[in-house]
Structure 1
Amino acid sequence: MWAAFMGVDLFRAWSAATGLLLVLFLMLHLGGVVMAPFAPASFEIYAAALHQSAWLPFAEFAFLAAAFIHLALSLAKLIVNRRTGNRAALVSRRGDRLAVLAARSQAIGGLILLGFLVVHLLQLRWPRPAAGEELIALRALLAQPANVALYLLAAVAVSLHVFHGGEAAHRSLGLLDPVNGFRIRRVFRMLALLLGGGFSVVALLVSASALQMGQ
């Protein structure tokens, strides 16, 4: 029993660490793609410079490794919890319905994000658009309603995942206490809104510009 308990703690710690790394990547990624609808020329220059960087393949590999490790550890934690009989029902102590929704949607949200990642890479990474054609490729994708719906669904999944995961990650790492709990919870809820809203706005504006240019 003790070994299983230690295993759950280990899974939680590594899952939390990789999750926080993925949040950092999302922040950086949003900072780049937000230029697409507002400063198209700057976005193309940024994209071309980024994709010519020697360190980019290593960063992409690290991101993919963190994403799959996070998913694998989350599934392993779930399996260990069920094997040890941890089937407690989720109860909100604060009466926060959005927090309950975010917590209960973690598993399905993770699968949605994994599926989106695969599709996104196939659309814009394999093969990668030529330099100066990143925005053209993105507009072509988001001119299709099905792709817009997929990108918006992924944005909602990201928002809910970060909404719950930020606080949960700090708890798993032993960094959450009564003194900083409210501040950590507020920061990550604002970050969840920023990421989900930011990616949604980018997708909608790029889609609108694509449809306008097609008229």
Structure 2
Amino acid sequence: MVDISIPRPDFEKDRGQIGIETLVVFIAMILVAALAAGVLINTAGMLQTSAQSTSQDAQSGVTDRLDVSAATGVVQNASKLPASAGHENSSKVINETTISVSLAPGSDPINVNDTTIRWTGPGGATTLTNENFTVSAVTDEGETKPVLNSQTDRFQVTINLTEQPVSVLEGGETVHLTFVTSSGAETVFQMNVPASLADASPGEAVRL
């Protein structure tokens, strides 16, 4: 008679083998999860750093700007100036401007020499750099010129209009100035020359 009975498994041996395989798979899953978590944490850190840097740059582009409070111009006889300065229609012109600047509220320190000035006037449009203007201090806490370092600092930016790329200004003319700091923040200011300069003496400063 043939024995067709099914042998019973040895649960003691099989249980140990299955437990080891499960443990190996479990450890492998933990290692993979740990590696994935590390990658996610590093990526999140990089994204956070990038976001903070972008936020700071954006904030600087808004807050780190100049406050332009006033401008004056020096009157000069046109006959004393070279013809290239551009003064065909007037006997007296403005040949030099001085503009008062300070830190806008909430602004970090600004190096005025790193600022550019977009000049748009009767002679056309151009961009002025620190080669085209000079900076002097009215009040300078800590003597940090050309860096505006305090809300009490007041500097003056002087532009000689007889030097290219700008031209002298005649009575009634208007100039639009845009001060752009190194962070990209902009301040717009308009200078208006008095309609007539006939009564002003040579060397006299008039408000623009």
TM-score under structure 2 normalisation? 0.28
More helix by share: 1
Instruction: Choose between structure 1 and 2 for higher RCO, CA contacts under 8 A separated by at least 6 residues.
Output: 1
TM-score under structure 1 normalisation? 0.28
Largest Rg, 1 or 2: 2
